[in-house]
Structure 1
Amino acid sequence: MPVWRRRGRVLSAVLLVVVAGLCLRHFGYRIGLSFFTVKYGGSLLWGTMVYLLVRMFLIAASRYRIATVAEMVAITVELVRLIHTPWLDAFRDTLFGALLLGKVFSLWNIFAYSLGIVLAMSLERWFLSKKL
């Protein structure tokens, strides 16, 4: 399959995950989902999105390399939450900043990101085995 087509499929998956995350965030409580499901489901989807974005840029790399880079990105973003400067806190106070960087450091978020990365890796393997 040509590289541009693979990247297009990955981009489609990224958009699907982003829409799922936004729907979870917007409708989760309204449909009766628990705080745990909304909070950590969003973190799981964020980890999945990071894996897919790394895959888009490193299209030929192995799943394990993609997962390693995605995990490093996710942990770095979580650690950045420990840094507080006026401009960074102002960015975090915007909707985009809150969705992209979050506000509060949590080891549980890192765990949820890791699960999302493993989920993305597993789904990628499954889709490739089906020749979709």
Structure 2
Amino acid sequence: MIVKRDSTKKTHRNKRVIYHMAIVITIVLGLASRTYSHLLVEFLAENAGDMLWAMMVYFGFRFLFIHKSLSAAISLSLLFSFGIECSQLYQEDWINQIRHTLLGSLILGQGFLMVDLVRYAAGILIASLMDKVILM
């Protein structure tokens, strides 16, 4: 029984390392998609950043809740992403000051766009498919 517990811990540790790497790679790709958007085809320039942001959210939930199911990670990621987008409907000075900082803008966004919900769903779907194919 101790051997099984140790191997389970090792498996979870290995998955956490992979999710951590996925988060870092996704952040780098997301920042690059914003910085070098002029080098991308129009479709990617318009959609990649939001999709990658949602993928990073998904990998973050997988990292934090390693024992949870794939469907739980998808649900949490959708709730979080949609919640952040809907929070952009709230426009008060204090939160807009946060949104005007680089970090605040990257996390909270600037303004509500319905199309972002589709982009988030697509990013989470892509991340969960990658997760299922690579790690499961």
Settle same-fold status: TM greater than 0.5.
yes
Picking from 55, 59, 64, the partner of 1:57 is 64
Question: Which has the larger Rg?
Answer: 2
Q: Which deviations, in whole Å up to 9, do the C-alpha atoms of 1:17-46 show, x marking residues without a partner?
A: 0000011111121x2532x42231111111
CA distance in 1 between counterparts of 2:50 and 2:110 reads 13
- RMSD of aligned alpha carbons: 1.3
Rate the CA distance shift 1:32–1:114 in 2: closer, same or farther, 3 A: closer
CA distance in 1 between counterparts of 2:14 and 2:128 reads 19
Runs of 4+ in 1 over 2 A off after TM superposition: none
TM-score (norm 1): 0.90
Picking from 92, 100, 114, the partner of 1:93 is 100
- The residue that corresponds to 1:12 in the other structure is 21
Q: CA deviation at 1:97?
A: 1.0
- Is structure 2 residue 88 aligned with structure 1 residue 78? no
CA distance in 2 between counterparts of 1:83 and 1:32 reads 32
- Is structure 2 residue 127 aligned with structure 1 residue 120? yes
- The residue that corresponds to 1:21 in the other structure is 30
From the two aligned structures, give the one with the greater helix fraction.
2
- The residue that corresponds to 1:105 in the other structure is 112
Identity among equivalent positions (%) equals 25
Where do 5+ consecutive residues of structure 2 fail to align? 1-7
CA distance in 1 between counterparts of 2:85 and 2:134 reads 29
CA distance in 2 between counterparts of 1:66 and 1:128 reads 14
CA distance in 1 between counterparts of 2:118 and 2:31 reads 20
- Which secondary structure state, in structure 2, belongs to the residue aligned with residue 18 of structure 1? helix
CA distance in 2 between counterparts of 1:40 and 1:94 reads 22
TM-score (norm 2): 0.88
